[in-house]
Amino acid sequence: MPVEVIMPKLGMAMKEGTVSQWNKTEGEAVKKGDPIASISSEKIEMEIESPADGNVLKINVPEGKGVPPGTVICYIGNPDEEVAATAAQVQEEKGQEEEIKAAHPAPLPKKPGKARVKISPVARKMAEAAGIKPEDIKGTGPGGRITKEDVEQAIASAKESRKQDSLIQAPAEEPKHTPVSGMRKVIAERMHASLQSAAQLTITMKADVTELLALKTQVKETIAKRYDSKLTITDFIARAAILALENHPEMNSAFMDNTIVTYPEIHLGIATAVEKGLVVPVIRNAESKSLIDLAKEIKEKTAAARSGKLPADEMQGSTFTISSLGASGVEFFTPILNPPEAGILGVGVVSDEAVFIGDKIEKRSRLPLSLTFDHRVLDGAPAAAFLQTVKQYLEEPVTMLL
């Protein structure tokens, strides 16, 4: 009896899974454990392995199509086994037959043949030589007869038409149409919904991180020996944001059902780019973690997210998010809120700048910060105060260690 391969449920919140790619074709032999397909959900991509030895008897779900968890996507069995059609497949085939009938209706009865075209022998030869059908020429002779002059006029019109057509250049290549599914579909829907549902505003500042970079270098060897780890600038920024959220709890909020919900715990989201999109691993109860513990968890969860091994439940429930484009050389940008959060901090690339310190010009390392916030939850002044606090912690890094 053929073995059913079903779409698995990747997390409690999963509503739909998409077959990104089939690694095997119908009729191809497989062994138990062979990767037969790649699937994706809202936040996770993984491979499905064959549950048994045999052949791929039938593929039910084409690439790019989303189906609910539990749907049979293919059958594995012996080559001589037959797969019974399910009720859903019968209905689908019936629907396809009806679509074909609608697209190709029965031919209409033939109409009587057209009346013979009246044209002089000379005019007919001229039309044939020019590749013009006599039926397309309007005759001006007696009884609508086509004359030599009529053909000459038709030839002149055809030349002018070809000349105009040559001026219109056809596209060198047809555009590519890619169906939106899986992770990209969810990102598109969530980002569009975010902009449609929240009053988003972005403010910017630059933080002087010269001392921070010096401290990072100073403790590098000690951190490596004692904790077998290292601190990145992202770790310091995360710590600064957490401390600032404790000082400004209104930023650790969400607007839901005409109510501002302020969370007592800080669940920090770290936006992480993956091969086919963006996911947000969550550091839960971040306010209770030391800088070292925070750094280790950020490293572990972002690495697991990039490899597709982080469970979906670990990418839900954040109360504030950090998104960095510094590695791409971006300075300021407009991060979009991760619904239903009230704030997201965008981090740019550190650059050396000439800055007046008193009356002297010094080279300083400056970090661009872009804060997008929901104006329904808080106004510009408290949002600016929060960003100013983040800036202060980054410019006085020792305070993050106390």
Given the residues 136, 313, 352, 379, the one annotated as active site: 379
Residue 248 known to be catalytic: no
**Which residues are CB-neighbours of 307 under 8 A, at least 6 positions away?**
none
Cα gap 273→281, rounded to integer Å: 11
3-state DSSP assignment of residue 87 = helix
Whether 147 and 120 have beta carbons less than 8 Å apart is answered as: yes
Given the residues 34, 53, 293, 375, the one annotated as active site: 375
Nearest to 183 by CA among 339, 17, 43, 61: 43
Nearest to 13 by CA among 41, 49, 45: 41
Which strand (E) or helix (H) includes residue 274? strand 272-274
Q: How many CB atoms lie within 10 A of CB 190?
A: 15
Cis peptide before 340 (omega within 30 of 0): yes
Q: DSSP character for 228?
A: S
Q: How many helices (H) and strands (E) does the chain have?
A: 8, 19
How do beta strands 360-374 and 351-357 pair?
A: antiparallel
Cα gap 184→181, rounded to integer Å: 6
Sign of the four-CA dihedral 85, 88, 92, 94? positive
φ, ψ of residue 190 in degrees (nearest 5): -70, -40
Residue 208 known to be catalytic: no
Whether 37 and 73 have beta carbons less than 8 Å apart is answered as: yes
Nearest to 203 by CA among 157, 160, 251, 168: 251
SS3 sequence of 324-340:
ECHHHCCCCCCCCCCCC
**Residues with active-site annotation:** 375, 379
